[in-house]
Structure 1
């Protein structure tokens, strides 16, 4: 009689664990598809490469659930490793985007999880070598992904902090799986916790990429700005700053007193926060394009200010600078934005000033 009761209880626990497993897998699958769709949408709108890489990473993570449900260990290890590598790669690209400096050999830095999984699949002869070790390496790189996200961000970027923290906790939890998988009483708890952390992480990553900080559009719109191209002197620039206080302007400047609502980058050869080297003209174009697209989506006129043309000419030459200004002008016009270039006619050769004026406003 006692034996019968134990057997019935055991069957009940198995059914309960199976139900928890199915519910957890379903929630995780939906969360991963949802965050992937959000990230892809953000990439299409903002053209941030990090968003695209993260979108692919979460899509691959969704397939890891399918592989796990089918009991294909090798595919589970490979998809989990691919998710970790892509997540880490996206974080490296995010770091590069935020700092304005290219991180070399990103793909190589992100490769270890996938390499360990490939070795495990082809050379492993038990669960630990096929899945356990690659799973642990992948989990560690998820933790590192969170660390990379939090490294360059501003203290006000709270949604990124929460996304980084949730990634770190998720990675730490995944690292205990190879050790605790054999503990029967912990299995339902561990899987439920993992599913919950996946949903939470997906939510906070969605909040992060949908935030204004992610696309560098800040400030409160208080005035209407007409599209166009404007060439102003340094004296007139003081009026511009007063007129555009409270407006989410994107500025590349040589002076250190922009309105606090502006997103300003200081042009300098010295490293520092929110700085851009004067020779990195493609980076200025990249940031301007992203900002103008997002401003258009929000129904406002994007305003780009360039102050320090003489400084750019010194480092790049007049030919490179005029090509850059011509491309930036076209970008602004196509996005119905406004470009304000600050330059004093007396601060450079007259012919150079005329070339710049002709390129920008056709006179």
Structure 2
């Protein structure tokens, strides 16, 4: 049997398995990033199939979609938005870089339109893999070495993809290329699995013992100050708009200003994902510990989100806190709400 077909089939199979694994961790760890990465690997398998079958349109579209989903998933990580600032200069030259690359590819294969088209797709894909790698390395202060290792691997993977149109026609390089691709796929997936099981709010030490009452509590802004004093030394997860929180807390500021420890008011899924990660991390340190989450700024969230969406978010957050025997403190200014919405919130959070 043709060794090229064997290598291609094995490579496609590994990518399908990688995609399935990412989707599994997406569901288990409640990580949206893993969902996008999983779909990316599944689609990448079709790029291999298109290459082998001579269907260059399928191959080109698949590899482009792979890069798009992987890059999109990376930008959805906590803090990734702020890291984009450092890439603005590079992205501004993207049209020029892509045109130069396209001209080089076409010049190398003037007689073969299919190879040129697929080669350009791989080159563009590689470029965005490198961008994803840069983003991940930039988040090393938040995610540690796991972010750096994955970022470097994806950067190397992107450079490897970019050599496709120049080395693909070289007979002896085909098995080498597939082997390198397979190795990079395996390493990337290993680092991805490590990465999606880590949260930026991971608890590094066992929390102090406190007598914590479980449930959901609605407090006024003035009452919240007493809560801050009571839990000043406990690793509370807080999403706040105006409150100044103790150093021991893991605090995310609700604002449209980009930053490592900020969250946009429109990104309720990120708040829920971060909350689930916090509870998982706390339980991993001490199964008997009780997660405590404080949410302040509902009035600000209401400006950017329809009430039904906000209600669904609060309902889901309450369910997760209840299942984990935790405490949810919601700071609410009752004078800022319509009576109908206020009654709905109070009924929802009982």
TM-score, normalization: structure 1? 0.67
Q: Does 1:249 align with 2:237?
A: yes
Deviations, residues 176-212 of structure 1 (Å, cap 9, x unaligned)? 1211234344443333222211211122122211223
Structure 1 portions without partners, runs of 5+: 1-14, 102-108
Map of 2:89 onto structure 1: none
Query: Which structure would you say has the larger Rg?
Result: 1
Pairwise CA distance, 1:248: 5.8
Root-mean-square deviation over aligned CA pairs:
4.3
Contact 1:250 1:305 in 2 (8 A): yes
Number of residue-to-residue matches in the alignment: 310
**Residues 325 and 186 from structure 1, CA distance in 2 versus in 1: closer, same or farther, beyond 3 angstroms?**
closer
Deviations, residues 141-184 of structure 1 (Å, cap 9, x unaligned)? 22223223334553443212211211110110121121123434
**Residues 328 and 301 from structure 1, CA distance in 2 versus in 1: closer, same or farther, beyond 3 angstroms?**
farther
TM-score, normalization: structure 2? 0.69
The correspondence of residues 137-156 of structure 1 with structure 2, limited to 5 A, is 137-152=124-139, 154-156=141-143
Q: Distance in 2 between matches of 1:57 and 1:180?
A: 24
**Residues 98 and 241 from structure 1, CA distance in 2 versus in 1: closer, same or farther, beyond 3 angstroms?**
farther
Contact 1:221 1:248 in 2 (8 A): no
Map of 2:292 onto structure 1: 303
2:229 equivalent among 220, 227, 238: 238
Q: Does 1:58 align with 2:13?
A: no
3-state SS in 2 of match to 1:183? coil
Q: Distance in 1 between matches of 2:306 and 2:52?
A: 57
Map of 2:154 onto structure 1: 167
Map of 1:331 onto structure 2: 316
Pairwise CA distance, 1:59: 0.2
Structure 2 portions without partners, runs of 5+: 85-91
Deviations, residues 324-363 of structure 1 (Å, cap 9, x unaligned)? 98666533432204212457xxxx7x8569x899755899
Map of 1:75 onto structure 2: 58
Contact 2:40 2:66 in 1 (8 A): yes
